[in-house]
Amino acid sequence: MWKPEPALPDLHFLLDRAGLTREALLAQYRQMCLIRDFEELIAERYAIGKTPNFNMAAGPIRGEMHLAVGQEAVAVGVCSLLTDADAVVSTHRPHHHALAKGIDPGRLAAEIFGKNTGLCRGKGGHMHLFDAEKNFSCSGIVGASYPQAAGAAFSFRAQGQPNVAVAFSGEGAANHGTFSETLTAAALWQLPLVIVIEDNLYADSTPKWAALASTHQSHRAQAYNVPAYLVDGMDVIDVYAAAKRAIERARAGHGPTVIEAVCYRYRGHFEGDGEDYRTREEVELWRTLDPIERLGKRLIRLGWADDATLAELREEAARDAAQAIAFAEESPLPEQREALMGVFA
């Protein structure tokens, strides 16, 4: 859902209507830079020991790895509107959501490395992050975020709490039955739920056009009497404006909303993915819409930042990401006796 770049007066209008200030946009720029740097460093460390024959059990980070480089605007545009008490349920591709929700980058990195200082003492890994203080969780099961977030939303409403639950998913997950089941219950009970579909055009390696008869999953929301927005997921301002309306609606007790954000992941579905289902030209085309570069250019057009200001923010973000990775690398692995700790079965 790419939109042409607005003229300067139109850009001012969009910002005023969304309530976005210079300080808020600079914070979003820095946050997206942090997420980008963090994930690119994770990619570097993940590759250690896995070549020339790819072995996901080798190296300092083991198991599968799903990165969201290119999708930063969706996470930041939504999560910058949330409080710590609001719930976020993410997916198997969760790092950008976790950082945007405010999770400590060092503890996040340590969890990905399987270290004792991680969010779950190294037992969750990159697909099973949990942080009670930030009310953040995720699941490696595709489509699981919808009912889990609906449960949190039901709890908020039952306890009279003014909070919102957000379920992130990919567009492929919206083809699961959990999407329809959750929309039915959430609309019937008017739950404070926002479903955010990150439509990066590919469900694993299956292109969207080969798996969906309609154009967009957000169109399905109409069948459940749920409002929906289709937004440019490479534009943090567009995402923020739609998310603000959806979250305000949920907090006011008016029920769920679906947001479909069309975006693109620059890396494969997983690290080690051969990516023979798409061309290099397609990837490079989407890179011309890069959300960080677009926001940087807008800040300069608005006169709200210059090259030096943006460079300083990028350096700060790069330093924070590097410190997080260093913290994880220097942290100890869990002791063997901890294998049975936290087991409730």
In three-state secondary structure terms, 199 is strand
**Residue among 24, 42, 21, 166 at smallest CA distance from 97:** 166
Specify which residues 90 forms β-bridges with.
138
Please give the Cα distance from 311 to 308 (Å, whole number).
5
Active site residues: 265, 269, 277
Beta strand 206-207 with 165-170 is unpaired
Specify which residues 165 forms β-bridges with.
87, 193
Beta strand 193-199 with 87-90 is unpaired
Specify which residues 257 forms β-bridges with.
194
Q: Is 255 left (phi over 0), alpha (psi -120 to 50) or beta?
A: left
Cis previous bond, 291, omega within 30 = no
DSSP 201: S
Q: Is 118 left (phi over 0), alpha (psi -120 to 50) or beta?
A: beta
Q: How many other CB atoms are found less than 10 A from the CB of residue 32?
A: 27
Specify which residues 193 forms β-bridges with.
165
Residue 234: CA count within 13 A, CB half-sphere: 23
Q: Where are the alpha helices (DSSP H) in the chain?
A: 8-18, 22-47, 72-79, 95-100, 105-112, 145-158, 177-189, 236-251, 280-287, 291-302, 307-330
Distances (CA, A) of 299 to 15, 289, 337: 12, 16, 52
Task: State CA 13 to chain mean position distance.
Answer: 27
